[in-house]
Each structure stands twice: as structure tokens, then as C-alpha cells.
């Protein structure tokens, strides 16, 4: 008990001592502070006094902090004013760029139709095919009684042999591809639907057929039948020829860009897409060309080219009143679905340097001398200037000297026709008669007329790469009588076949020079035209009276002259033959360097007339190649097709019946 008291007393004493010591320390500290404050001003300060004197005033610190905060707040306020007011438009544009994406949906190229609404160019889905050689296999049925299906491995060589004929590839080429990689081998792109179906029918595993969002290919259902008119799209879907090129703005649908909002994660907000997002019009481009007539013209041309072993030819059918082309055929031609293959094969025949000429429409882009088919135009010029009339006679003794001291100009067969009228000049295709007619016209006036009818100019056809013909300069033309003399029978200048057809058309339509064209316009699904091309107004170059006079003279060429092989019983047909020697190494010496042609007009006695023209370049046969026996039969064949397609009534039905009776009699005689 006493021990406990002693311990507590001791603890209490210790605590008490600590308390006394703490009070003594605080008292001493207070005494020291009071002593420091009471120190005299002039005396030497103690170290503690020196430390106290240099301590910063807290008021200054607080003021500095407020100044900094004030400046910062003011700067922040200025920045906010700048962002919200001054720079706000720029920031809004940046925000729109980040939040709005412009989308232009892909839509197929417009379909092209012929005059009768047959599809001749369409866009359709295409496919890309990948091969995975590691997975090549097929499913086969078990043998014998077991009919269970089992998977059998297919070797790369077997796969190549089966795919090559469908893809049009070399089997060895495919095998090399299969051996290079085990998966993801690209073996075809831009493939048509029928090719895809044929591959699927093989029932082979290891092939991946895909159609991307933009996988469309241009398909030409008629193959090569309309190539010179349509042109083609290359592998990048860029138009390269024909109306695909010249009418690209009409064929590409105008689809606007749609602004769509996207989130911060890049997701498109579908609720902002309008219902007409993928709406496109149903317009189609219709041409004036008739597929049936085009096919008939090509068949007739090919037959004659084979018969005469000719390298190229053309047939053109034009509505004389409007300039609309009903047919435009050029041979040789190509299949726009496989233009690369056809150019390659053509290069094997004519050489690599000339291979691409296969893709050119020479009826539009290759000027040449027209020869005697130009003579009716020259006669019309002479009539317009009053230097001849239909009853004027010309003395044709077989030759005429245009320039004293030079070789005389002769008829093609060196014949002498004696005294002949203007119609007979055309019937016999007299060079001498034409020279004497045009010698009556002042050369300066003649040259003015050649320019008036458009020689040396483009006629504005809506197909690409039209080239203007060539004509000598005015100074040269007036310097020598040889130029007017040669021009009188179609030599010494050039024009394209389509330009010649247009000039002949002016004689068929009452003297008007129209613009040749193949585009009729854009039509909707109901057949209503929504857009049509704007063509220049026809220009009156000959009077209707003189045009009719020349047309009737041309009719005698078919009934009595060199164009009898174009005669069709019951129909009145006008025409003119042409056999134009072409310049070769500065002269006309080569007999095989010539173009034979015939221009026909049907029907003479109807207001609505057509010009049918055929030309074959460099024909070679057993008999002499002339426009009368090479080109005229082609025109007759095409006219017969035109009569059937358009239902053109005959001028004299009795002649048709007589011709049928005569044919039956001839057939019986031959049979007996």
C-alpha cells in the first residue's frame, strides 16, 4: 500500500516538475521577445533583431497574389472573347469538318438504248475471285452401294485446268499463281454474272467470290455490233471512245453529296439520313441507231469485204431531213467487252504499231479523197451560179487539158462519150465533162462555194475525234487551173465519209446542210423525253429547186448509168458511184490504192428520204474494182433492209409483181 503511494507520489512529482519546466521556458521566451522589442533604436541589434527586420511583409505577398489572379482572369476573359466572338466562325467550320462527313453514293452509269429501246450498253454487278490453294477440294458421292458424300482434295493443277477456260486464262499461268501462295490468290476481277455462275457450278471449295460496293462493270449485250458508235470503258471505268466518251456527262448520273453527322467514335448517325439518300433517276440515253439495220449493214459489208479481200470498209445510213444516223458500221471492229484481246489479235495482223487503229472510227476520223461521189455536189454549185442548166450539153472527146503544157485529164476508162447533157455526165461519171462544167465558173467563186459547203471544216457530229477534211489554200487554188479541175471530179481535197454523206443529204432534203448525230436524248421509263441535244439550225446551201434537179439526175444514174446494181424494183432510187484513186508516194500510180464507194438516196418520190452510203478501201478481185460492182450492191442490200424495217411503200407496186414473175420464169428455165 505504501509502495503504491510512493510510486504515485513519484509519478506526480515527475509530472509536476515537467510542468514547472514548461512554464519557465514559456516565461523566458516571452521575456526575450519583450526585451527585443524594447531594445533602443540606435543600439546594435541582436541577431534575432536582424532576422526579424528582413522578414517580408505579408500584406505585399497577398497583394501580389491578387495581381497575378487578376491578370490571369483578365487574360482568360480575353481568350473567351476571342474564341466566342472573333474566332467563332472559324471554329464552327473546324467542328463541322470533324463532325460532318460528305458522302456521294455510287450509282450505276446510265443504260444506252437503240432507236427501238433495245439495251446496247448497261452497268451490271461484277465480281472478284480469290483462290485458297490450301483448301482446294470438292464433294463427291461414294462408290458402290455407299452413296455418302465425301470431300476429295483437288490439286492446283486440276483447279487451273477447270478454271482457265471460264476465265479465259492460260492454265499454266494460273498454276504458277497457285504455287506462289497458299491463300488469298487474286485470279480475276471485274467478272460478269455468267462467269460467276459457271464457276459456282463447278462446286469446288477453295474459291472466294466477292462483290464489292463499287464492283460494277460495263456490259455490251450486242458484243461488237455497235462498237464504233458506243465506244468502251477501260478497266478503270473511264470512257475512251464513242458516245461513252462524248456523252459522258449525260451517262453519269448527277448524284449530290449528302452531309452526314458522325459521333466522336466515327459512327454515322443513321437517323439523319434522308429517305431519298439512294434515290436515282430512271433516265436512259436513247440513240438514233437501229440495231436491226446496223446488223444488216454489217453483214452486207463483211460479205463484200471477204469477197474483195479488202482491209476496211464502212456503211452509213442517215435520215436526210434530220441528220439522225440510223446505222454506222465500220470494219474491222472490236468487241468492247474484250477490247484489249481484240487489239492484241489485230496487232498480229497489221503490226503492234497499228494495232490501236482498230479502236478508231475511220468513217469519222479518217479523211480521204471522195472521187466521183462528189460530182453531184459540183453540179449543184454550177447550177446555183447559173453557168449551166439541166439542158446544157458538153462535148466529151475523152480528154481535156486543164493547164497548157501538162498531161491531159482523161476519163477513168479513157472512153469518149461525145455530146452529153448534164445528167449523162453523172450517168457516165465523165471526168472530162465535169472539168468543162467547172471551167465555166470563176475559180474565186468556186473556192468560195467549197468553203460555204464546209470543206476543210468539222461538221459537228456527236462522236469524238472527228477530223476536218483538207483543202488547198485560196492562194494556191487561184494560182493554177489544175486545182479547180481536179476538185471538179473529187480529187485534190479530202473529207471524211460522214461529211460526204452529209453533203449528199443536202441534195435529198431540199438543199439544207444538217448536223449528223447519233444521240436522240434522255428518256424516262415511260418513254417521255426529258432532255434532247441542241443541234445547230440547218443551213440552206442550195436552193430546193436545184437540189431537186440534181436528185432527179442522180436517179438516172441508177436507172441508166453506173449505179444499176443498186436498183430495187418498184422503188425510185438516186445514187452516184465513186472510184477514187488515193495519193501514194506523191502520185496516183497504184491501181490498188483506191476507195470504191456508192451514195444512194431512197425514196426519191417521198418527202422523207434516207442517204445510204458504202465504201470499201483497197478492194482486190479478179475483175476491176469499181464503185459500181463493189459498193453499189452493199447499198442495195441495206436499202432492202431499210424498206422492210420502216415499211416504206413502193412507188410502183406493178414493178414488184413483174420482178417476181420474171424471177419465177428464170428459176423454171434454170431448173429445166
Q: Which positions are annotated as active-site residues?
A: 372
For residue 136, the surrounding DSSP H or E stretch is none
As a whole number of angstroms, the distance between CA 254 and CA 649 comes to 44
CA 549 to chain centre: 41
Three-class SS of residue 302? helix
DSSP per-residue string spanning 565-579: GG--TT---EEEEEE
As a whole number of angstroms, the distance between CA 393 and CA 390 comes to 9
Give yes or no for a contact between 517 and 538, defined as CB atoms under 8 angstroms apart: no
Three-class SS of residue 11? helix
- CA angle 360/519/517 to nearest 5° reads 65
The region, left, alpha or beta by phi > 0 then psi within -120 to 50, assigned to residue 136 is: beta
As a whole number of angstroms, the distance between CA 380 and CA 384 comes to 6
Give yes or no for a contact between 327 and 120, defined as CB atoms under 8 angstroms apart: no
The cell numbers describing 329, all together, are 458500221
Matching residue, cell 490571369: 72
CA torsion sign for 31, 36, 42, 47 is: positive
As a whole number of angstroms, the distance between CA 577 and CA 592 comes to 17
- CA angle 354/355/361 to nearest 5° reads 90
Q: Which of 36, 199, 241, 220 is nearest to 124 (CA)?
A: 220
Q: Which stretches of 114-232 are assigned E, i.e. beta strand? A: 119-125, 127-131, 137-141, 149-153, 185-191, 204-205, 207-210, 216-219
The sheet that has 137-141: what strands, in order across it? 149-153, 137-141, 204-205
CA torsion sign for 213, 219, 221, 226 is: positive
Q: Which of 317, 305, 329, 627 is nearest to 489 (CA)?
A: 627
As a whole number of angstroms, the distance between CA 368 and CA 68 comes to 92
Q: Which of 131, 178, 137 is nearest to 157 (CA)?
A: 178
Q: Which of 178, 83, 85, 183 is nearest to 132 (CA)?
A: 183
Three-class SS of residue 264? coil
Q: Report strand pairing: 119-125 vs 519-523.
A: unpaired
Exposed, middle or buried, 290 (CB in 10 Å: 0-12/13-18/19+)?
buried
Give yes or no for a contact between 475 and 482, defined as CB atoms under 8 angstroms apart: no
The cell numbers describing 291, all together, are 440495231
For helices 291-307 and 632-646, angle between their N-to-C axes, nearest 10 degrees: 160
Amino acid at each position: 500500500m505504501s509502495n503504491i503511494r510512493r510510486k504515485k507520489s513519484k509519478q506526480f512529482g515527475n509530472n509536476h516538475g515537467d510542468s514547472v519546466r514548461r512554464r519557465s521556458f514559456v516565461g523566458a521566451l516571452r521575456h526575450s521577445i519583450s526585451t527585443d522589442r524594447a531594445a533602443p533604436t540606435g543600439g546594435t541589434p541582436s541577431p534575432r533583431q536582424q532576422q526579424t527586420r528582413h522578414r517580408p511583409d505579408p500584406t505585399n505577398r497577398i497583394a501580389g497574389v491578387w495581381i497575378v489572379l487578376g491578370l490571369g482572369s483578365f487574360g482568360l476573359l480575353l481568350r473567351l472573347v476571342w474564341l466566342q466572338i472573333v474566332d467563332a466562325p472559324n471554329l464552327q467550320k473546324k467542328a463541322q469538318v470533324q463532325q460532318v462527313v460528305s458522302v456521294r453514293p455510287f450509282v450505276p452509269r446510265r443504260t444506252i438504248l437503240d432507236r427501238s429501246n433495245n439495251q446496247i450498253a448497261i452497268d451490271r454487278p461484277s465480281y472478284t475471285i480469290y483462290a485458297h490453294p490450301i483448301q482446294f477440294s470438292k464433294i463427291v458421292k461414294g462408290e458402290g452401294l455407299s452413296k455418302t458424300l465425301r470431300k476429295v482434295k483437288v490439286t492446283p493443277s486440276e483447279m487451273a485446268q477447270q478454271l482457265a477456260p471460264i476465265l479465259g486464262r492460260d492454265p499454266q499461268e494460273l498454276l504458277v499463281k497457285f504455287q506462289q501462295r497458299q491463300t488469298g490468290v487474286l485470279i480475276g476481277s471485274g467478272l460478269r454474272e455468267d462467269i460467276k455462275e459457271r464457276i459456282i457450278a463447278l462446286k469446288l471449295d477453295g474459291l472466294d467470290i466477292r462483290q464489292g460496293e463499287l464492283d460494277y462493270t460495263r456490259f455490251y449485250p450486242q458484243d461488237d455490233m455497235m462498237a464504233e458508235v458506243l465506244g468502251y470503258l477501260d478497266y478503270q471505268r473511264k470512257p475512251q471512245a464513242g458516245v461513252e466518251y462524248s456523252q459522258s456527262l449525260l451517262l453519269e448520273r448527277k448524284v449530290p453529296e449528302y452531309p452526314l453527322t458522325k459521333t466522336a467514335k466515327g459512327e454515322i448517325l443513321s437517323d439523319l439520313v434522308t429517305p431519298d439518300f439512294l434515290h436515282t433517276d430512271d433516265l436512259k440515253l436513247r440513240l438514233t441507231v437501229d440495231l436491226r439495220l446496223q446488223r444488216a449493214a454489217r453483214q452486207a459489208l463483211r460479205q463484200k469485204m471477204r469477197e474483195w479481200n479488202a482491209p476496211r470498209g464502212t456503211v452509213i445510213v442517215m435520215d436526210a431531213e434530220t441528220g439522225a444516223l440510223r446505222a454506222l458500221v465500220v470494219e474491222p471492229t472490236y468487241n468492247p467487252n474484250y477490247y484489249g484481246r481484240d487489239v492484241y489479235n489485230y496487232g498480229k495482223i497489221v503490226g503492234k504499231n497499228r494495232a490501236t487503229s482498230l479502236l478508231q472510227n475511220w468513217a469519222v476520223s479518217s479523211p480521204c479523197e471522195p472521187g466521183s461521189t462528189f460530182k453531184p455536189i459540183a453540179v449543184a454549185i454550177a447550177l446555183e451560179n447559173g453557168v449551166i442548166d439541166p439542158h446544157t450539153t458538153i462535148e466529151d472527146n475523152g480528154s481535156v487539158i486543164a493547164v497548157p503544157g501538162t498531161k491531159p485529164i482523161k476519163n477513168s476508162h479513157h472512153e469518149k462519150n461525145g455530146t452529153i447533157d448534164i445528167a449523162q455526165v453523172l450517168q457516165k461519171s465523165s471526168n472530162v465533162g465535169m472539168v468543162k462544167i467547172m471551167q465555166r465558173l470563176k475559180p474565186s467563186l468556186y473556192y468560195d462555194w467549197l468553203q460555204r459547203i464546209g470543206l476543210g471544216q468539222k461538221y459537228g457530229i456527236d462522236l469524238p475525234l472527228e477530223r476536218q477534211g483538207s483543202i488547198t489554200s485560196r492562194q494556191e487554188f487561184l494560182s493554177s487551173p489544175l486545182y479547180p479541175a481536179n476538185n471538179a471530179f473529187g480529187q485534190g481535197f479530202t473529207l471524211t465519209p460522214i461529211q460526204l454523206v452529209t453533203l449528199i443529204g443536202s441534195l435529198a432534203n431540199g438543199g439544207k446542210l444538217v448536223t449528223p448525230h447519233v444521240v436522240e436524248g434522255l428518256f424516262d421509263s415511260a418513254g417521255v423525253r426529258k432532255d434532247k441535244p441542241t443541234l445547230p439550225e440547218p443551213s440552206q446551201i442550195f436552193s430546193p429547186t436545184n437540189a431537186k434537179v440534181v436528185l432527179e439526175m442522180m436517179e438516172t444514174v441508177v436507172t441508166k448509168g453506173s449505179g444499176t446494181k443498186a436498183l430495187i424494183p418498184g422503188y425510185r432510187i438516186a445514187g452516184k458511184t465513186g472510184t477514187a484513186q488515193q495519193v501514194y508516194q506523191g502520185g496516183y500510180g497504184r491501181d490498188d490504192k483506191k476507195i470504191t464507194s456508192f451514195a444512194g438516196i431512197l425514196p426519191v418520190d417521198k418527202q422523207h428520204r434516207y442517204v445510204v452510203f458504202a465504201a470499201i478501201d483497197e478492194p482486190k478481185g479478179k475483175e476491176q474494182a469499181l464503185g459500181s460492182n463493189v459498193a453499189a450492191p452493199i447499198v442495195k442490200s441495206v436499202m432492202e433492209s431499210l424498206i422492210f424495217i420502216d415499211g416504206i411503200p413502193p412507188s410502183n407496186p406493178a414493178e414488184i409483181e413483174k420482178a417476181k414473175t420474171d424471177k419465177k420464169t428464170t428459176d423454171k428455165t434454170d431448173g429445166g
